[in-house]
Structure 1
Amino acid sequence: MSAGSPARRGFFVNVGSLVFARGFLALSQVLVLPILARMLSVEDFALMALAMTVVIFTSVLSDAGLGRSLIRAPGYDQVEWSSVFWLLVGVGALLAAGVLAIAPLWAWYFAEPSLTAILSALAMVPFCQAISASHNAEIERREQYTALARLQIVAASSGLVAAVLLALAGAGVWALVVQQVLIAAFRLMGVIRLSRFRPDRVFDRQKIGGHLRFARDAVTTSLISVAQAQAAPLLIAKLLGQGPLGIFAMSQRFTRLPQFGLAGPMSAVVFVRMSKAQDDPARLTRIYLASTRLLASALLPPLTMIAVSGQAVFTVLLSEKWAGIAPVFALSIPGLVLEAVAITCLACLFRAVGRTDLQVRLITEGAVLRVVLVLGAALISLEAVAFSMTLWALAYVPRGWAHARGIVPLDWGDCLRAIAPAALVSAAGALAHLLLCRALAPGNEWEIVMAIGLMCLAFGALALADLGRIKAATAEFR
């Protein structure tokens, strides 16, 4: 098989592999976080959040959107792929140098001298990601997601083990720094080994012209998306201080789980399927609605129950000093789940049909709205910042559907009907939990048990109410 020819694998095998890997890592993180939360201070997590803001900006530039563009290419051309690879090597080197240059300025701005050394160590992360982008694209093009899933487990597990050992040894924030560096290094070595692509010593500028046009909008979208996501921690750090930032950063480790654990892996495979159906608007609409229904059904019941039992969950899991996470999580998770359910695969649709201009427009509108809301909320309290994210999603998601209606026959009613069953049973479970807690006043452990039981009942009710449509959505990907 040539480096660019895809293997024939089922949608659910691919998604299942990635979801299993992400689920394993999410569970590992949940199991490891109680150790890290007890061994490290709130300020350690705040420092890491400030450093990762810079790293995340450079990471979205590390493949410059070129990896996604290579996947879309109709055929495989060794010169083309090699040219993109060498371009990305240069991009990675520039990004690493940029992080090193920014480090002392970042430390000065936030009055945290230790940020200089932390960022200097993290500079290799975007470099590793840039080098691995072409190899990773070749693996995805062959739909070898099972191999990628195994690699993710190995890389992330290595980072988690190192973080725990260093935290136990009293390394402080460096436990988190080494974790990120190890994950990037292991993943680079793994994708090079798994990929069939081997670059030649050749560079043809004409071969990369089309990819650069695609990358322009992809990079713009990614940068704006990161800017809107990182606005909150930066504004919290400047206006509310490191204590609230530490709480917010820890909360994000949990609120990111919907995107990290399911929506992200699913979107990677949905994008490949949408790319193959890019000339069939009706098919694209069905794929989007099916993915939205499946994501809503899987994510809303458990996350709703965590939100309403958050005080018990985070106190038992992390210790009393992290109890402040509960209201932050509960106020922000509705909006973040709505974004994961409705927007993640919508972005795949825009990229699949080559309408990245619409994605840029949508993400720009969303970023402006997010920054305005967060800025106003940060002048009030950390809880206000969390709630602003839910308000933002309630405005942002309908705007995304409006943009999509210009290229596919997407009906708002169909979109709402895809989400409504899971939302209604989740709301009923949350109400039942609150009433039972008021009547029984259970301890933390029993409240968690009760929340798990109600989550199972919510899944059962959803299966009874919407099983036929869930099966139809599942069939859409076979």
Structure 2
Amino acid sequence: MKRKSASRPTFFANVSAMAGGRVLSIVAQILILPIIARYLTTSEFGAVALAMGIVVLAQLLSDGGLGKSLVRRPDYVAEEWDSVFWLLAGIGTLLSAVLFMTAPLWEALFAMPGLTELIRVLSIIPMIQSLSAVFNAALERDDRFVLLGGLRIVSVILSLGAAIGLATNGFGAWSLVMQQIVLFTTLTIGAVIASPFRPRLRLRPKWLRGHLRFARDTVGTSLVFTLQRQAPIMMLGFVLGAGPLGLYSMALRLLRLPELGLAGPASQVVFVRMARRSSDPAGIGALYLAALRLLALVIVPGMFCLAGFAPELIPLLLTDRWGNVALIFALAAPAFAIESTTSMAGMAFLAAGQTTLRLRMATERAILQIATIAISVPFGINALAFALSLFAIIYTPRLWWYAGRIAPFSRKKALGAIAWPVLSGIFIWLILAMLVSSLENQTAVFLFVLAIGMAVIGWVLAALPQLSELRGAIALFRKDEGTVAQVKDST
């Protein structure tokens, strides 16, 4: 697998490409939600959300963290990459088979007719994802994030086209199922075609040993985080049924926009930079603080703005049947904004090789959050949404304590990086609360334009008190480009 020495995209070009691909895909999803929502019931949404929640538990094992482990390697060894590929291919196939065979048990557990067929069709996803892991790792290692962003755009467009076509022709829940299958299949085919990696039939255990500890802790951490994330879905489905779960699932599609559109793509790019500083804890901490500051500026005011507009915007876009989604979104928005903003801490643990400590932190957090969810679910969806936000606020200092142990950074500066965007967001939300009565009977276009305008005001108010710090964060990533390029050229 040879890498070209041609000029490489800068950090911000890579993030822009990845985020641009995600943002465009998110915009496309937002545009089709009003269509899908008119053809599917809340119960159908809930059934697919539950099926995907079960499949996700297998998905996280399909990579095993081995893709990230390969990216961390300073040198490329063909036998090593081939061995990891075939190991993952076997794991993915096994996971898909287990899902297919256990599908009836899940239907019996949740007493939800039709769940077996949904899980069996979706069970192919872990195998597809495991086959693409090494190809994606090769593209990430070569800094080909622009290409990865383009692949995501194409995949999302095709998958959403399939969803619309099937939904409008009466296929109900199957339109969402096929959306997922088309998405992962297209991403895999694109990665295989674009990647320089070509596997040969060889599996050498000696090349796997160096990855086992990393994979063990990474899989354990991913399993814990996934259980934490899927706990609301599982508990809602078990306690309240498919209808309320459908409302939460729709709110979740909107709540995850910051993670999917910005935090997720940025973490892929930032991880490569952090990994190059694996022997420099202070350098990793500086990169984390810079990423935290930039993400908080973009995400937090925007989420507060959306929360303020939700009561008017969501019923207008999705019909009154989905009106209750607005309150769920507003109550849970702080949780998802904080988690997206602080999520880069996970990349710091991985880059420093402190996967065991990350697993410990993740386990502690999951136990506490699942307990919080279990207590709040019997009181309904709104209580659950509020509990999630309250937990995220309370646990953030503890997260920083863990991260500071492996990558020293100023927690006072970290708090300041979040405080200004939060204050700005609250100010915008209060203005919207006073304007809410005058927003009745407005068109979707007017509300969108007004939302963008208010978000811009929020971003400006959040940026002004910390202009010098923001310039420093941007300068740090630009300065890091030279180091990354030198290291890559030397390999």
Q: Do Structure 1 and Structure 2 share a fold, with TM-score over 0.5?
A: yes
- The alignment status of 1:405 with 2:413, answered yes or no, reads no
Q: Distance in 2 between matches of 1:53 and 1:455?
A: 32
Deviations along 1:270-299, one digit per CA (max 9) or x if unpaired, are 100000012222221211111001101111
Structure 2 CA distance for aligned equivalents of residues 450 and 182 of structure 1: 35
Match of 1:386, as an amino acid? A
Give the 5 Å matches for 1:131-280: 131-280=131-280
Q: For residues 206 and 7 of structure 1, what CA distance do their matches in structure 2 show? A: 35
- Code of the residue aligned with 1:374 in structure 2: it is I
Question: Per the alignment, do residues 51 and 382 of structure 1 end up closer, same or farther by CA in structure 2, a change over 3 Å counting?
Answer: same
Contact in 2 for aligned 1:6/1:143 (Cα 8 Å): no
Q: CA deviation at 1:475?
A: 1.2
User: Distance between the aligned counterparts of 1:202 and 1:436, measured in 2?
Assistant: 65
Q: Note the C-alpha offset of 1:457.
A: 1.7
Q: Partner of 1:361 in structure 2?
A: 360
Which consecutive unaligned segments of at least 5 residues does structure 1 have? none
The yes-or-no answer on 1:345 pairing with 2:336 is: no
Supply the distance in 1 between the matched residues of 2:386 and 2:233 (Cα, whole angstroms): 14
Following superposition, the deviation at residue 359 of structure 1 comes to 0.9
SS for the counterpart of 2:189 is: helix
Instruction: Give the Cα separation in 2 of the matches to 1:67 and 1:449.
Output: 41
Aligned to 2:47: 47
SS of residue in 1 equivalent to 2:344 = helix
Secondary structure of residue in 2 paired with 1:477: helix
Check 1:6–1:290 CA distance in 2 against 1; reply closer, same or farther (3 A cut): farther
Amino acid paired to 1:347: G
Whether contact under 8 Å (1:5, 1:141) holds in the other structure is no
Distance across 1 between alignment mates of 2:197 and 2:450: 51
Match of 2:428 in 1: 429
- Give the secondary-structure state (helix, strand or coil) at the position aligned to 1:309: helix
8 Å Cα contact 1:313-1:444 kept in structure 2: no
**1:466 Cα offset (Å):** 2.6
Between 1:157-166 and 1:283-292, the stretch displaced more is 283-292
Is the contact between residue 3 and residue 197 of structure 1 (CA under 8 Å) also seen in structure 2?
A: no
Q: 1:331–1:5: structure 2 CA closer, same or farther, 3 Å change rule?
A: farther
Closer, same or farther: CA 329–123 of 1 in aligned 2, 3 Å: same
Shift, 1:441, TM fit: 5.9
What amino acid sits opposite 2:323 in the alignment? A
1:300 aligns with 2:300: yes
Report which stretch shifted further, 278-287 or 126-135. Answer: 278-287
TM-score, length of structure 2 as denominator length: 0.94
Cα distance in 2, alignment partners of residues 441 and 159 from structure 1: 34
**Could you say which residue in structure 2 is the equivalent of 1:2?**
2
Q: Which residue of 2 aligns with 1:418?
A: 417
Please say which of residues 31-40 and 109-118 is displaced more in the overlay.
Answer: 109-118
Identity of aligned pairs, percent? 39
Distance 2:451 2:8 in 1: 41
Decide whether aligned partners of structure 1 residues 19 and 228 sit closer, same or farther in structure 2, where only a CA change above 3 A counts. Answer: same
Structure 1 distance, partners of 2:380, 2:269, is 39
What is the rounded CA distance, in whole Å, between the counterparts of 1:461 and 1:234 in structure 2?
Answer: 39
SS at match of 1:379: helix
Mark the CA change 1:191 to 1:431 in structure 2 (over 3 Å): closer, same or farther: same
Is the contact made by 1:6 and 1:141 (CA closer than 8 Å) also made in structure 2? Answer: no
Distance 1:304 1:84 in 2: 43
| 1:101 aligned counterpart, secondary structure | helix
Is residue 85–residue 134 contact of structure 1 (8 Å, CA) maintained in 2? yes
| Equivalent position amino acid for 1:413 in 2 | K
Shift of 1:240: 1.6
CA contact (8 A) 1:7 1:144 kept: no
Distance 1:200 1:447, change over 3 A: closer
Q: Does 1:370 align with 2:369?
A: yes
Which range moves more in the overlay, 264-273 or 388-397? 388-397
Q: Distance in 1 between matches of 2:5 and 2:252?
A: 38
CA distance in 2: counterparts of 1:124 and 1:441, whole angstroms: 46
